[in-house]
Chains A and B, each alone.
Chain A
Amino acid sequence: QVQLEESGGGVVQPGGSLRLTCAASGFTFSDHAIHWVRQAPGKGLEWVALIWYDGSDKYYVGPVRGRFTISRDNAKNKVYLQMSSLTLEDTALYYCARDRSEHGGFGGAFDVWGHGTLVTVSS
């Protein structure tokens, strides 16, 4: 079936780095943009990053720009989120989500979500 699965979360010290992976299955991965969305403890959903279906375009929310890098390997059906210079404010459950449209990404409609991977930044 159509699914996404995140991995790579864990506990990291402030200033550290972590790489999250989003593995896809059950659909034509190369047709869809993929987004990362996070939820800090007790807070709402926050969009983090977007990578176009072919990797040609990438977008980031302000607080992570310059620190996070999104990439994808369509041959492996995977998207990555490389996170560096992590701060306490990056502590959150990180979800990857599929953009509903094919060959699009500006709609903000995410029809398939993973269950999330927890990132905890703590000294």
Chain B
Amino acid sequence: QSVLTQPPSASETPGQRVTISCSGSGSNIASNAVNWYQHLPGTAPKLLIYGNNRRPSGVPDRFSASTSGTSASLVISGLQSEDEADYYCASWDDSLTHVVFGGGTKVTVL
């Protein structure tokens, strides 16, 4: 059981919008930055969002994120076929004194 809770799957048609939630607690999301990763099978994970809502250079602005209290969300707008991947949220946990990941959400483009 992951410390951060994500839905196991999400799906939408091309061009539409997908929202992935990440639920945590006061010792992680509410106190520390949330980061999001995209992981395609057979490749290394890719940092998609850091510091709650910042995009590294090269990440399309179709990807956006936000936090509120003990929850965070990743939004993929204008969904494209190449967005089909697993998405993970992650944050530092002050109680556990280590990084915690969500269980991952598999996004399917219908």
Contact = CB atoms under 8 A, between A and B. Distances in A.
A61 interface: yes
A41 B76 CA distance: 27
Contact of A111 (B39, B50, B92, B100): B50
Interface in B1-35: 2, 32-33, 35
Interface SS, B side: strand
A61 B35 contact: no
Interface of B: 2, 32-33, 35, 37, 39, 43-47, 50-51, 56, 86, 88, 90-92, 96-104
Contacts of B98: 47, 50, 59-61
A26 interface: no
A78 B55 CA distance: 28
Interface residues of A, number: 24
Given A44-B2, A45-B39, A47-B90, A109 B44 contact: no
A107 interface: yes
A113 B33 CA distance: 19
Contacts of A47: 90, 98-101
Sort A-B residue pairs by CB-CB distance and give the 8 closest, nearest first: A109-B50, A113-B44, A44-B104, A47-B99, A108-B99, A109-B35, A106-B92, A108-B90
A14 interface: no
12 contacts: A45-B45, A97-B45, A100-B47, A106-B92, A107-B51, A108-B90, A108-B92, A110-B35, A111-B56, A113-B44, A115-B43, A115-B44
